[in-house]
Amino acid sequence: MKRLVLILLCLQSLIFTPAHGEESQSALREMVAKVRTYTLSNGIKVIFYRRGEAPIFAGAVVVRVGGSDEKSGSTGISHMFEHMAFKGSKTIGTTDYGTERKLLYRLEEIAAESDSGNNLSAEQQVEWDSIHEKLR
């Protein structure tokens, strides 16, 4: 997010640099004018840039949350986004949601018992690997 703002500020400063031709300045002004930034009620910032050249949408979601090396007690949101991005839902990306739900719940239990899955006992590791294989 900070990089995009920095890039936009650099582009905007170029607009007012006399060394560039009027055509370049006009193109940069037009580009900067198409950027829209919104802050949702939950604090998420959304940045849109509409090119309008083709009926295509391309997007990226950047979330500043933890990762696989999170500490116990500060986990959760990244796991939720992982499931939203890669696992699907009750009807999308699944062939047997009921079974998958039980397996995913068991993974959560094992993670809670073992410092977010970092300190698995030999028995837990076997079950952890088995569950992941079944989910594949």
Q: Is residue 79 in a domain?
A: no
Q: Is residue 26 in a domain?
A: yes
pLDDT digits (tens, 9 = 90+) for 33-81: 888 889 888 888 888 888 878 888 777 777 665 565 666 666 666 666 6
Range of the domain at 35: 2-49
Q: Is residue 84 in a domain?
A: no
State pTM to two decimals.
0.39
Q: Is residue 15 in a domain?
A: yes
End-to-end CA gap in the chain: 34
How far apart CA 29 and CA 20 sit, in angstroms, is: 12
Q: Is residue 78 in a domain?
A: no
pLDDT digits (tens, 9 = 90+) for 76-101: 666 666 666 666 677 777 778 888 88
Q: Is residue 18 in a domain?
A: yes
Q: Is residue 58 in a domain?
A: no
Domain total of the chain: 2
Q: Is residue 22 in a domain?
A: yes
Contact in structure between 35 and 11 (CB atoms under 8 Å): no
